[in-house]
Amino acid sequence: MAIPTSPVWFITGCSTGFGRDLARLVLDRGWRAVVTARGRDRVADLVEGNANALALDLDVTDAAQIAAAVAAAHDRFGQIDVLVNNAGYGYQATSEEGDAAEIRAQFDTNVFGLFALTRAVLPIMRAQRSGNIVNFTSLAGFVGLPGSGYYAASKHAVEGWSDALLAEVAPLGIGVTCVEPGPFRTDWAGRSLRQTPSTIDDYAATAAARMDGTKAYSGAQPGDPVRAGEAIIAAVERAVPPRHLVLGKFAFETVTSKLRERLAAIEADRALSLSADFPDA
Q: What distance in Å separates the CA atoms of residue 179 and residue 21, rounded to the nearest whole number? A: 15
Q: What distance in Å separates the CA atoms of residue 261 and residue 27, rounded to the nearest whole number? A: 41
Is residue 19, in this structure, part of any structural domain at all? yes
Burial 2-27 (b: 16+ CB within 10 A, else e): ebeeebbbbbbbbbbbbbbbbbbbbb
Kindly tell me the sign of the dihedral angle through the C-alpha atoms of 105, 117, 39, 87: positive
Burial 174-183 (b: 16+ CB within 10 A, else e): bbbbbbbbbb
- Can you give the pLDDT at residue 166? 98
Is residue 142, in this structure, part of any structural domain at all? yes
Model-level pTM?
A: 0.94
CA 26 to chain centre: 18
- Can you give the pLDDT at residue 266? 98
- Can you give the pLDDT at residue 189? 59
- Can you give the pLDDT at residue 184? 80
- The answer to whether 229 and 18 have CB atoms below 8 angstroms apart is yes
Q: What distance in Å separates the CA atoms of residue 231 and residue 119, rounded to the nearest whole number? A: 26
Q: What distance in Å separates the CA atoms of residue 218 and residue 264, rounded to the nearest whole number? A: 34
Domain holding 171, by residue range, is 8-274
* Nearest residue to 120 via CA among 163, 155, 157, 72: 72
One-letter amino acid of 125 = M
- Can you give the pLDDT at residue 2? 59
Q: What distance in Å separates the CA atoms of residue 278 and residue 276, rounded to the nearest whole number? A: 7
Say how many domains are in the chain.
1
Is residue 1, in this structure, part of any structural domain at all? no
- Can you give the pLDDT at residue 216? 65
Strand partners for 53: 33
* Nearest residue to 136 via CA among 14, 25, 8, 267: 14
Q: What distance in Å separates the CA atoms of residue 157 and residue 72, rounded to the nearest whole number? A: 29
What is the dihedral angle through the alpha carbons of 188, 132, 228, 48, rounded to the nearest 10 degrees?
Answer: -70
Q: Is position 91 annotated as part of the catalytic site?
A: no
Q: What distance in Å separates the CA atoms of residue 245 and residue 271, rounded to the nearest whole number? A: 33
Q: What distance in Å separates the CA atoms of residue 29 and residue 237, rounded to the nearest whole number? A: 13
- The answer to whether 85 and 135 have CB atoms below 8 angstroms apart is yes
pLDDT in tens, 192-216: 789 999 999 999 999 999 998 886 6
Is residue 78, in this structure, part of any structural domain at all? yes
Strand partners for 83: 10, 133
Question: For position 113, which CATH number holds?
Answer: 3.40.50.720
- Can you give the pLDDT at residue 140? 95
- The answer to whether 17 and 229 have CB atoms below 8 angstroms apart is no
Which residue is catalytic, options 91, 151, 203, 217? 151
- Can you give the pLDDT at residue 3? 65
- Can you give the pLDDT at residue 119? 98
Is residue 279, in this structure, part of any structural domain at all? no
Q: Tell me which residues of the chain have a pLDDT lower than 50.
A: none
Is residue 281, in this structure, part of any structural domain at all? no
